[in-house]
Amino acid sequence: MATHGTNRTMRAAAAALVVWAAGLAGAGVVHAEVAAADPVDVAMRQCLARRDRSSTAGQIQCMDEAQQQWQSVMDGASQRLLKDAPADAK
């Protein structure tokens, strides 16, 4: 029986050591950088925050405007890729 108690104590000590080590390892991760918000997303959030857009219809209007802006961004990126692509890739 003494062995069983010793094993339990050893497991508890090992678990405590793992938790402690994880805490030390996680301390360096705290400085994660956050990317700046995209202007289209910022405009959509500002639109959604407006009092005159607080209804469901107003929120849908904000999201539709953002979708149109994103479509323009994607169309522009696609045009640039096609312009710069080699002839055999077009």
Q: What is the pLDDT of residues 59-72, one digit of tens each?
A: 999 999 999 999 99
Mean pLDDT of 37-50: 95
Q: What is the rounded CA–CA span in Å between residue 69 and residue 39?
A: 10
Instruction: Provide the whole-model pTM.
Output: 0.56
Q: pLDDT tens across 4-14, in order?
A: 667 777 677 66
Measured distance CA(40)–CA(67) in Å, rounded? 9
Query: In whole angstroms, how large is the CA radius of gyration of the chain?
Result: 27
